[in-house]
Amino acid sequence: MNPLSQLPSVDRLLSATALASLVDAHGRAVVTGMVREVLAAARAAIKEGGGLPDEADLVEKVGAGVTAKMRPRLRPVFNLTGTVLHTNLGRAPLPEEAVQALINAARNPCALEYDIESGGRGDRDNVVDELLCELTGAEAATVVNNNAAAVFLLLNTLAQKKQVIVSRGELIEIGGAFRVPDIMSRAGAKLVEVGTTNRTHLKDFAENINPRTAMLMKVHASNYAIHGFTHAVPEAELAALAHQHTLPFVIDLGSGTLADLAAYGLPHEPTPAEAIAAGADLVTFSGDKLLGGPQAGLLVGRKDLIAKIKKNPLKRALRVGKLTLAALEAVLALYRDPDRLHLRVTAVRQLTRPEADIAAQAARLLPALQSALAGLPVTVEIVALKSQIGSGSLPVDRLPSAGFAVKPQGKRGGILNRIEQGLRALPKPVIGRIEEGALLLDLRCLAEHEESGFAAQLSALSGLGA
Ligand SMILES: *Cc1c(COP(=O)(O)O)cnc(C)c1O
């Protein structure tokens, strides 16, 4: 008999008891679709000369297919890469206060563009602009989708068909195709490069100012550093020069933390407040880098300039939603208490976490990892590591940390790849890194309350030996 005609029907497979709970959970349409896919694949395999598959195998394939299809794509993971603000892993995790604010705003109507006192229309920037001014010393503030959008909007508003003078040492590329010259041309502004890669002087700017100049701009070279024979013009001197010519001086700060990180033993990162105090007319920075908030681009500075920016029709296209504003407001509010940032802002807590604390956690978790990998030809040890801040913040600085190094016994390097894949296949994937012949798991970003969940799922790795 032709095996094709012996394949079970869609209805027959659907009625398998093993699939009833899937229909319950995900609905008939999804399971029916998968049954059809699995039957089509079985038919194709038979046409290629294969035999009639077991009905139980078909049911199992449908189950696995539906489970995989319905699993969310945006899954939480353990970030053990050693990079705290990992752009590919969503940058800063939000503090609990921000998570609660976000849930509240998501679940309920909220006064997003509504003035509760007057009962009239409001402006969504009002959710955070006073806080931003308080924390930076600026006169006005506005918020857009991310810092790239902030830079774009400010150039498009103030420098369209005009010239923007930038030092050659600051024509940077941030990962993910943000390049200063490209953003500039897309915004309709003409870039005027001055100075050299390593040294730029005030006269380089002064000599290039003409009636078509729109502004002087400084871009924080976030993700790289130049050492040796270097010179950059101090902000205050650039501001003074710009103001002599009644031009604005703007700074793209990149990360722009609102706190003095040096107080926590981290290297100093320039703050928007310092930039404003030095005479900058506009400053832009990210919400989800060192600030530790949601993805957003913050623009602070002179009232008249912010007002112009807000009138640009592109502001509407680049604006943020209520979820972002809710989270941002909650995070900014935490900065009113700078003494406790390291306890309350998750990203700051991770960045300031003491090495000894991380090493103690490694000691607690070592037995679980060792027993999970027991049958495999590898050694597991606790090692000192260096975390990095990430997202182009403080690129050359490393934070002393601790974690695990899994090394192959003998020359069988392939085992590391298998373990690394196995870690990624866990219910909550664990993302580490392979470096110089070892699989490294940096524990800096593993919170204490996540420890037991982390350890509990490791036992699934023991299947890797087979
Ligand atoms: C990160 C960064 C940007 C881009 O910020 P996003 O918030 O990622 O859009 C722009 N400029 C500088 C200097 C940066 O460091």
pLDDT tens per residue across span 138-155: 999 999 999 999 999 999
Q: CA dihedral in degrees (285, 291, 295, 299; nearest 10)? A: -30
Distance CA 147, CA 338 (A): 23
Distance of CA 390 to the CA centre of its chain: 9
Find all residues with CB under 8 Å of 115, minimum gap 6, and list them: 121, 122, 126
Please give the Cα distance from 281 to 348 (Å, whole number): 28
- Under DSSP, the state recorded for 336 is T
CB 197 within 8 A of CB 168: yes
CATH fold of 96-344: Aspartate Aminotransferase; domain 2 (3.40.640)
Q: What is the pLDDT of residue 412?
A: 67
Q: How many CA atoms are closer than 13 Å to the CA of 226, on its beta-carbon side?
A: 16
pLDDT in tens, the chain (466 residues): 788 889 999 999 999 999 999 999 999 999 999 999 999 999 999 999 989 999 999 999 999 999 999 999 999 999 999 999 999 999 999 999 999 999 999 999 999 999 999 999 999 999 999 999 999 999 999 999 999 999 999 999 999 999 999 999 888 777 667 788 899 999 999 999 999 888 899 999 999 999 999 999 999 876 667 778 888 889 999 999 999 999 999 999 998 889 888 888 888 888 999 999 999 999 999 999 999 999 999 999 999 999 999 999 999 999 999 999 999 999 999 999 999 999 999 999 999 999 999 999 999 999 999 999 998 999 999 999 999 998 766 666 789 999 999 999 977 668 999 999 999 999 999 999 999 899 999 999 999 999 999 999 999 898 776 5
Tell me the whole-structure pTM to 2 decimals: 0.93
Find the helix or strand (DSSP H, E) in which 166 lies: strand 163-167
Pick from 392, 154, 158, 348: which is nearest to 254 by CA?
392
**Pocket lining for ligand 1, CB < 6 angstroms:** 146-148, 151, 174, 178, 219-220, 222, 252, 254-255, 286, 297, 392
Number of residues assigned to the chain: 466
CATH 3.40.640.10 in the chain, residue ranges: 96-344
- How many Å lie between the centroid of ligand 1 and the Cα of residue 455? 35
The helices-and-strands tally (H runs, E runs) of the chain is 20, 15
Query: Domain 78-87+350-465 falls in which CATH fold?
Result: Aspartate Aminotransferase, domain 1 (3.90.1150)
Residue 231 DSSP symbol: B
What's the token pair of residue 380? 């597991």
Map residue 92 onto helix, strand or coil.
coil
DSSP 263: G
Mutate to test the pocket of ligand 1, among 144, 166, 174 (most ligand atoms within 8 A of CB): 174
d(CA 454, CA 369): 10
Helix (H, G, I), strand (E, B) or coil at 420: helix
Nearest to 281 by CA among 314, 241, 318: 241
Q: Tell me phi and psi for residue 464, to 5 degrees.
A: -65, -25
Closest ligand 1 atom, residue 297 Cα = 7
Q: What share of the chain is helix, strand, coil (3-state, %, to 5)?
A: 45, 20, 35
The answer to whether residues 84 and 353 touch, using CB atoms and an 8 Å cutoff, is: no
Ligand 1 atom at minimum distance from 255 CA: 15
- How far CA 360 is from CA of 118, 364, 374, 404, 448, in Å, comes to 55, 6, 22, 12, 11
CA distance 66 to 428: 19
C-alpha 348 to ligand 1 mean position (Å): 18
If one residue of 222, 224, 324 were mutated to test the ligand 1 pocket, choosing by the most ligand atoms within 8 A of its CB, it would be: 222
Q: How many CB atoms lie within 10 A of CB 440?
A: 19
How far is residue 113's CA from residue 121's CA, in Å, rounded to a whole number? 6
Q: Tell the residue number behind the tokens 């931003």, with chain if given.
A: 132
Contact assessment for residue 244 and residue 206, using Cβ atoms and an 8 Å cutoff: no
The residues of the chain that CATH labels 3.90.1150.180 are 78-87+350-465
- The distance in angstroms from the start CA to the end CA of the chain is 38
Cα–ligand 1 centroid distance for 285 (angstroms) = 7
Ordered DSSP codes for 182-216: HHHHHTTPEEEEES-SSB--HHHHHTT--TTEEEE
Cα of 263 from ligand 1 centre, angstroms: 24
Helix, strand or coil for residue 121?
A: strand
| Number of neighbours of residue 321 by Cβ within 10 angstroms | 13
